[in-house]
Amino acid sequence: MITEQRNLNSTDIDLKSISEIVQIFHEEDQKAIDAVAAESDSITLAIEMIVKTFQDGGRLFYIGAGTSGRLGVLDASECPPTFSTHPEMVQGIIAGGDTALRNAVEGEEDKPDRGANAILDQELTEKDILVGVATSGRTPYVLGALNQAHAIGVKTIFLSCVHPAEELKEYVDHFITPIVGPEIITGSTRLKAGTATKLVLNMLTTVSMVKIGKVYNNLMVDVNATNTKLVERCIRIVQTVTGVETTIAQKTLKKAEGNAKIAIVMLAKGINKDDATILLEKNRGLLRPILDG
């Protein structure tokens, strides 16, 4: 299996200087970037599937073990503060539960029934979509989850850093396979494979959020302003889009209960909060047709 093979570029790495080792990392990390780029078409199709799921009222789930599971939970947990999504809209499931986020619970990944039970526990339905993440392409916990999800009509995507086994096609609808090659430290898939996984997950959620109206231009207009930094960002966003002065942006944001998108519509159209909310609902949360219309 390629993720367990030795990397000739890092042979005798313990004899090399720190600067030489850093250069090896640069060279190998570039391979991860190139591998993800080679999967652009597959990533695009996966995003189209996720967007359709969101538009139909479904949810996105990630499931994985170890590093793969942690990266999925990380990506999911960033969606509410960045895009003001409901916590249930994008969820991460990791073998071993929350304990495994900080502590190795390696044995859990070998139990396909635990993965299957996780799908049942979270009550996935045919409206939802599941992305299984397993760089080795064979983690039993993830495969058990994908199999169970497929059996109840959930759309399934598999992200791995190896070419998929033929039998997986029986219960996986779509594959994303950035082939990053052997790791610098043999078998340490938190390195290139982890980097490739993070790059892909970044795109899956972020591009999907763009397409359902959570971003206007390149501004996170649905940001959840829960601290001073984010409040200041909201003010800048409202100013950038509408051109108003700081005090006006602040006052309108207060009337909009901190919602930058609503504040923007209020200012752009000269309407109150309730009317701005209704107008956004009519346009499926998209600012572009409101401001350009």
The DSSP result for 193-225, as a single string, is HHHHHHHHHHHHHHHHHHHTTS-BTTB-TT---
CA distance 45 to 42: 5
Q: Is 245 annotated as catalytic?
A: no
Q: Are 254 and 273 in contact (CB under 8 A)?
A: no
Whole-number pLDDT of residue 57 = 96
**pLDDT confidence band for 191 (50 / 70 / 90):** very high
CA distance 59 to 248: 37
Q: Are 199 and 60 in contact (CB under 8 A)?
A: no
Whole-number pLDDT of residue 293 = 74
DSSP-derived letter for residue 135 is T
**pLDDT confidence band for 125 (50 / 70 / 90):** very high
Average pLDDT over residues 235-243: 96
Encoded tokens for 49: 């599937």
CA distance 63 to 111: 13
Q: Where in the chain is the domain with CATH 3.40.50.10490?
A: 2-211
Q: Report which of 67, 90, 77 is spatially closest to residue 212, judged by C-alpha positions.
A: 90
Tell me the average pLDDT of the chain: 95
Q: Are 279 and 290 in contact (CB under 8 A)?
A: yes
Question: Of the listed 28, 39, 108, 109, which one is catalytic?
Answer: 109
CA distance 198 to 26: 17
Whole-number pLDDT of residue 86 = 95
Q: Are 134 and 158 in contact (CB under 8 A)?
A: yes
Residue 104 predicted with pLDDT over 90: no
Q: Where in the chain is the domain with CATH 1.10.8.1080?
A: 228-292
Ranges 101-105, 110-114, 123-127, 156-160: which has the least confidence: 101-105
Whole-number pLDDT of residue 60 = 98
Indicate the pTM of the whole model: 0.92
CATH class of domain segment(s) 2-211: alpha beta
Q: Is 281 annotated as catalytic?
A: no
Whole-number pLDDT of residue 278 = 97
Residue 275 predicted with pLDDT over 90: yes
Q: Are strands 60-64 and 174-176 parallel, antiparallel or unpaired?
A: unpaired
Highest mean pLDDT among 3-7, 97-101, 141-145: 141-145
Whole-number pLDDT of residue 19 = 98
Residue 206 predicted with pLDDT over 80: yes
Whole-number pLDDT of residue 115 = 97
CA distance 12 to 194: 23
Give me the CATH code for the 228-292 domain, please: 1.10.8.1080
Tokens 């490739």 locate to 196
